[in-house]
Amino acid sequence: MRGHLQAETEAERLERRVKLLELLHRLRGEPDELLPFHQALALRPKGEHHLGLRTIEVDKVVGSVDRYEDFDRHFLPKTLHTLERWKRLRALQLEGVELPPIEVYQVGEAYFVKDGHHRVALAKATGQKYMDAYVIALDVPVPVEPGDTLKDLILKAEYAHFLEQTRLKELVPDAEEIRFTALGRYDLLLDHIATRRYFKGLEEGREVSWEEAVVDWYQNLYRPTVEAIRRLGLLRDFPGRTEADLYLWVMDHRYFLAQELGVDLGPEGAARSYEARFGPRWKRLGGWLKWLFKHSIQIPFDF
């Protein structure tokens, strides 16, 4: 009886906590949802294997196979039905009943619940650090992190699709990660590769394979541009962006300069020009003054 009364009290506090968290997330414009497992499947897993019974970290349980609308991103119950189920489990726990292990899919460092959602909610609400679970691991080319949002998952799915289409990691084993902050950008990279393939074929008078074009694009276009971005420290001027974001911006600017000047400045020249035009104001002013001195332009002054 005492366990039921305590569970009732805790459930009331939990309901208030969930409502407060929902309000805070709404005010901050933050997502307040579990990650859906079907989005993890968009990462194009190559297979799965059973790891058996394991002890996993509760904080890394971030998604659900089919109940992601019933719990918030902290895995706390959002509906009266789930709260009632949580309360009954909490009463059993307080009476000393041992709850069975849950079942999860492991995707990278994150876990998605297949069975045992209310047990996870109970562990989250009571501050439990570890719990037992039967684990099925998915082999994915782009791992999921516990702090990923739904947008992160969609971006990673796009990256997985890009890797599948290009086989970049197979063709260039030392290729670095290519990550964007906006959706739809990997399609632009595929356009770059196709364009590179077309012009390389014209230059050499032969049919260039897709695989050769991928390697040529990465080694002679993407990597040199990113290295120029690093040498200039350009990423510091655009917080919250990635090297891949800047690569696309610099390449667009390089194309614009080629059309305007009739000459290709190359990765370094395009990156420097982009910094001078779109970087912080003090850098733009500095770049303008350097250009004046370089071309020996006399600035008239009125006294």
**Mean pLDDT, all residues of the chain:** 86
Cα(273)–Cα(242) distance, rounded to whole angstroms?
A: 19
Query: What DSSP element (H or E) covers 184?
Result: none
Summarised one tens digit per residue, pLDDT across range 59-103 is 999 999 998 888 888 888 888 888 888 888 888 888 888 899 999
pLDDT higher at 38 or 260: 38
DSSP state of 239: T
What's the pLDDT score for residue 57? 96
95-149 pLDDT tens trace:
888 899 999 999 999 999 999 999 999 999 889 999 999 999 999 999 889 889 8
Query: Which residue is it, tokens 């006294």?
Result: 303
pLDDT of residue 3: 65
Do 163 and 142 meet the contact criterion of CB atoms below 8 Å apart? Answer: yes
Mean pLDDT of 281-303: 44
- The pLDDT tens digits for 15-27 are 788 788 777 767 7
Please give the share of the chain, as a percent, with pLDDT higher than 90.
52
Give the SS3 label for residue 147. Answer: coil
User: Coil, strand or helix: which one is 35?
Assistant: strand
**251 pLDDT exceeds 90?**
yes
- Spatial neighbors of 75 by CB under 8 A, at least 6 apart, are 34, 61, 62, 117, 120, 121, 124
Whole-number percent of the chain with pLDDT over 70: 90
Looking at residue 288, what is its pLDDT? 44
| Contact yes or no for 68/120 (Cβ under 8 A) | no
